[in-house]
Amino acid sequence: MANLRSAEVRRFALEQLEQGDKASAIDLFKNNFEPGDERRILQAIKLPENDFQRHGILTDILYVLKENADADVADLGQIVYFHTPCSFCRESAVKLLLGQNVAPAWLLEEAQYDAIEEILDQDEESE
92 inside domain: no
- Terminal Cα distance for the chain, rounded: 22
d(CA 116, CA 60): 21
96 in any annotated domain: no
Does this model's pTM top 0.75? My answer is yes
Structural domain tally of the chain? 1
Quick check: is 66 in a domain?
A: yes
Q: Tell me whether residue 113 is in a domain.
A: no
Whether 85 contacts 51, CB under 8 Å: yes
Q: What is the pLDDT of residues 51-71, one digit of tens each?
A: 999 999 999 999 999 999 999
Whether residue 23 lies inside any domain: the answer is yes
Q: Residue 114 falls within a domain, yes or no?
A: no
Q: What are phi and psi of 34, to 5 degrees?
A: -135, 150
pLDDT in tens, 70-112: 999 999 999 999 999 899 999 999 999 999 999 999 999 988 8
DSSP 34-60: -TTHHHHHHHH----SSHHHHHHHHHH
Residue 99 falls inside a structural domain: no
Does 111 map to a domain? Answer: no
Range of the domain at 55: 7-86
Instruction: Identify the DSSP state of 11.
Output: H
